[in-house]
Structure 1
Amino acid sequence: MTQTFRERAVAAKEAMRDVFPATPLMRNDLLSAKYGADIWLKREDLSPVRSYKLRGAFNAMRKVIPQQEMFVCASAGNHAQGVAFMCRHFAVRGVVFMPVTTPEQKVMKTRMFGGDFVEVRLVGDYFDQTLAQAQEFCAGAGAHFLSPFDDEDVIEGQASVAAEILEQLGRVPDRIVLPVGGGGLSAGTRSFFGSETEFTFVEPAGAQSLAAAIEAGAPVDVSPINSFVDGAAVAKIGERTFDRLRQTSLDDIVHLSEDRICGTIVEMLNVEGIVLEPAGALAVEALSEIRPLTAGKTVVCVASGGNFDFERLPEVKERAQRYAGLKKYFILRLPQRPGALRDFLQTLGAHDNITRFEYMKKSARNFGSVLIGIETDQPRNFAEMFQRIDDAGFTYTDITNDETLAQFVI
């Protein structure tokens, strides 16, 4: 008798118990009080590789072992670590292709999870180059290529997240909020629950591949993308995953700016002690966008991963402050006369702190340009400060939201 998709996902979930325990489903009091709802977090950041990706890798590999003893993948992060972990578990050879530009921490963790069973090859400056090399090698070696999302067995494996939610909650939640990248997790979860619950799919603003596919009626390439939310920044959603998501309404898709997500990362770390990567924070931050839909309801947010490199923390804090309106950068045109700097400093308020000041004096000019960064404790302080600067007769240009300039000077 042919099994249904839900039955296969449940079977995958049960098989996984020989490898790792179910990730916790935890009610979050902070978020529940904040949004007037019953908010639960599915903590995929607490899996052995700190993301859900090992689920799909496990399910796809178990379907072809022992006939296949060599696996290949291309990834710059979570998928690579999931494949490596499962190669060691199944004691099979794996070759993981990663871009040369991959942070050393991710390369090191992939090697650690795979041990002697996995070889990491650093190839190409961009992922497309890495993928092409991986597929060429795979074909020549007669190995099995493990797609990060566009594979039926991978989708089925990711659906084990939904199977665990149902088992742990004891009922179907009113709404599930989850991130979308290539679509493996969202397609699996949507296929498992069908129309039994409502969904909110969350994409980073710089990589809207699902929304673009819904509008076009087929997957389309939305390059160039912003890769900051690396766990969900995919230029083109998968063909198979889109087939399972094509009936999604655009009203059920939320887009969040990369800077905005950073505020959630900082809050969850400082207040809850939960470490989330940018993609893992998408579902939590989306709650503020769908508040009318969640009031009084039971809502599950999938925290998809916690592979966060703490070397990125200063950048994340910086982005969060800029989005919250607590930090600004501007270029000041400062007259080259004695006392001009003193006059400018008198325009600052009691809570306005200079965090950056770069001034190049050029004696042949009447004015010099100064790059200034200001941090304050209330957004309204900036309106008052800029008014005082205007009244003092200074000329300036606010570059806080100029992404091109920010790449060079911020």
Structure 2
Amino acid sequence: MPRFSKSALDATAALRALFDATPLQRNDHLSARYGAEIWLKREDLAPVRSYKLRGAFNAMRKMRAANPAQSHFVCASAGNHAQGVAYACRHFGVQGTIFMPVTTPQQKIDKTRTFGGDAIEIVLTGDYFDQTLAASQRFCSEVGAHFLSPFDDADVIEGQASVAVEILDQLGRAPDLVILPVGGGGLAAGVTGYLREAAPGVDFRFVEPLGGASFAAALAAGAPVTLKKVNSFVDGAAVARVGALPFSRLAWVRPEQVLLAPEDRICITMLEMLNVEGIVLEPAGALSVDVLPELAGEIAGKTVVCVTSGGNFDFERLPEVKERAQRYAGLKKYFILRMPQRPGALREFLAMLGPDDDIARFEYLKKSARNFGSVLIGIETKSAANFARLAAELDAAGFSYRDITDDEALAEFLV
């Protein structure tokens, strides 16, 4: 048996002391839609609601075996990796110091503390993750602790490979296609490393958020590169630079195998999975499902496994997710309307709205203008075609307006 396959099997067996295999579930809704066998590997149902526990546990297990005296572990994370490390520290009865940015939501801090209990200390430092990471690595060197990388570590990658071991065991055969989210690359490197040895006929697709496509950039450059700007909405996968070790194991991937998911479109997928299937996915956890429409022509009649990598979703973000989804679907738009300052002008505008149109936002931006006043107006509707009709009526009536829905700078400031 190849060495990586053997180590992945060993890691999987060791994990059973911590939790049972996460479910592999056939999804009837998606299978019917695409005429395929769509299976979801539910990493969102792991004890910390993500696959990150696997890699953290395996790396800690192997370090403890090699050096029993090592009893202090350090990581830097604002999310799932922190929770995985905390859980593993409590399991092994070792000390953990977890560095998190000062801006980390309290919910994530509380969950990390719950999983780690007395075994961990949380240090809040840095406004940005790079500052937090630097502080954690300095501390690690000073106290002689072991730093646990979220993805750039051979033992972490080996632990993530247990996802693939379970898929083959649970399905009882090799799937035709596995769709994987990519952030730092640890999950993708582990799953593909095992399946390419154990089931070489399996095909792969990799999904990154459009605003954090560091893997695609690395493939184009032939080596990891640092993105100048990252959209942090998909916080579980928005990584500025793919890991060096994961990339070295994924260099065989063809650029056309990597798909990019727009952040706002992911919101539509999250809402659909929640409302139709009752499945709570975080943005990164929805990536593999989000690209199914793009693959519809390729997957008919095939067996497809989507790895839903995490379900740590803060429901306080639900209004933002709904807003983004509506805007992407063309069901909500924002305008700056130049309203004539005369009696009846507002009534005239309101009469142009159809029965399915609803005003979600109305705010005068200039109240002192003598002849015209600028109004910020947000409109929701049930069909995107309704906006074309409204625009035609506004034009015919001579109203001056500007659609700022896709103007990132203006929308961020005004909306």
User: TM-score normalised to the size of structure 1?
Assistant: 0.98
Asked if the contact 2:76–2:133 (Cα under 8 Å) also holds between the matched residues in 1, the reply is: yes
Per-residue CA shift, 1:335-365, capped at 9, x if unaligned? Answer: 1111110111111111111011001453443
Moved more, 395-404 or 75-84: 395-404
- Distance in 1, matches of 2:188 and 2:347, equals 57
Give the letter aligned to residue 42 of structure 2: R
Give me the whole-angstrom Cα distance separating, in 1, the residues matched to 2:344 and 2:368.
16
Give aligned-pair identity as a percent: 67
The code of the aligned residue for 2:312 comes to N
Deviation at 1:122, TM superposition (A): 0.2
SS at the partner of 2:110?
A: helix
Residues 18-69 of structure 1 show CA distances to partners (whole Å, capped at 9, x for unaligned) of 1111100000000001111000000000000000000000000000112310
CA contact (8 A) 2:365 2:376 kept: no
Q: Is the counterpart of residue 318 in structure 1 residue 323 in structure 2?
A: yes
In the alignment, is residue 386 of structure 1 matched against residue 397 of structure 2?
A: no
- 2:205 equivalent in structure 1: 200
Equivalent positions of 1:231-242 (< 5 A) are 231-242=236-247
In structure 1, distance between residues paired with 2:365 and 2:322: 28
**Alpha-carbon displacement from aligned partner over 1:311-356 (angstroms, at most 9, x marks no partner):** 0000000000101111111100001111110111111111111011
Mapped to 2, the partners of 1:200 and 1:361 lie a distance apart of 50
CA distance in 2, matches of 1:259, 1:82: 28
CA distance in 2, matches of 1:268, 1:362: 43
Quote the offset at 1:224 in angstroms: 1.2
1:339 corresponding residue in structure 2: 344
Name the SS for the 1:232 alignment partner: coil
Equivalent position of 1:157 in the other structure: 159
**1:52 maps onto 2:51 in alignment:** yes
Contact 2:335 2:401 in 1 (8 A): yes
**1:100-154, Cα deviation, whole Å (9 max, x unpaired):** 0000000000011000000000010000000000000001111000000000000
CA separation of 1:180 and 1:342: change in aligned 2, threshold 3 A: same
Matched, 1:273 2:278: yes
Aligned to 1:5: 4
Q: Which letter maps to 1:110? A: T
Q: Secondary structure at the match of 2:356?
A: coil
2-structure distance, mates of 1:166, 1:303: 16
Distance in 2 of aligned mates of 1:364 and 1:330: 18
Equivalents in 1 of 2:215, 2:365: separation in Å? 47
Residues 260-291 of structure 1: CA distance to partner in whole angstroms, max 9, x if unpaired? 00001101101100000000000001111111
Confirm or deny: 8 A CA contact 2:182 2:188 kept in the other structure. yes
> Offset of 1:199 from its aligned partner?
0.4
> Residue 108 of structure 1 aligns with which residue?
110
Whether 1:257 aligns to 2:269 is no
In the alignment, residue 73 of structure 1 is paired with which amino acid? C
CA distance in 1, matches of 2:69, 2:8: 22
AA matched with 2:40:
L
SS for the counterpart of 2:294 is: coil
Structure 2 equivalent of residue 71 of structure 1: 73
Q: Distance in 1 between matches of 2:294 and 2:285?
A: 16
**Distance in 2 of aligned mates of 1:136 and 1:105:** 26
The one-letter amino acid paired with 1:191 is G
Unaligned runs of 5+ in 1: none
Match of 1:329, SS?
strand
* Partner Cα separation in structure 1 for residue 369 and residue 12 of structure 2: 72
> 2-side partners of 1:406 and 1:362: how far apart?
20
Aligned-partner residue type, residue 327 of structure 1 = K
- The answer for the alignment partner of 1:139 in structure 2 is 141
For residues 356 and 364 of structure 1, do their structure 2 counterparts lie closer, same or farther at Cα, with a shift above 3 Å needed? closer
For residues 82-115 of structure 1, what are the alpha-carbon distances to aligned partners after superposition, in whole Å with 9 as ceiling and x for unaligned? 0000000000000000000000000000011000
Which residue of structure 2 aligns with residue 307 of structure 1? 312
1:28 aligns with 2:30: no
Q: Unaligned 5+ residue runs, structure 2?
A: none
Specify the SS of the correspondent of 1:290: helix
Q: Distance in 1 between matches of 2:284 and 2:365?
A: 40
Residues 174-213 of structure 1 aligned to structure 2 (within 5 Å):
174-194=176-196, 195-213=200-218
Q: Distance in 2 between matches of 1:153 and 1:236?
A: 20
Deviation readout 1:368-393 (Å, 9 max, x if unpaired): 10000100111111111111111111
Partner of 1:16: 15
Query: In the alignment, is residue 91 of structure 1 matched against residue 90 of structure 2?
Result: no
After superposition, give the CA deviation of every residue in 1:171-215 in whole Å (9 maximum; x if it has no partner). Answer: 110000010000000011111111421101000000010100001
**Alignment partners' CA distance in 2, 1:20 and 1:249:** 35
Following TM superposition, by how much is the alpha carbon of 1:223 offset from its aligned partner in structure 2, in angstroms?
A: 2.6
1:372 and 2:363 matched: no
- Using a 3 Å threshold, how does the CA distance of structure 1 residues 214 and 364 change in structure 2: closer, same or farther? closer
Change (3 A) 1:292 1:120: same
More divergent stretch after superposition (153-162 vs 360-369): 360-369
Distance 1:320 1:361 in 2: 30
Residue 317 of structure 1: SS of its match in structure 2? helix
Bigger shift: 19-28 or 380-389?
Answer: 380-389
Report the 3-state secondary structure (helix = DSSP H, G, I; strand = E; otherwise coil) of the residue aligned with 2:63: coil
Question: Over the residues paired in the alignment, what is the CA RMSD in angstroms?
Answer: 1.0
Following superposition, the deviation at residue 3 of structure 1 comes to 5.6
* Secondary structure in 1 matching 2:373: strand
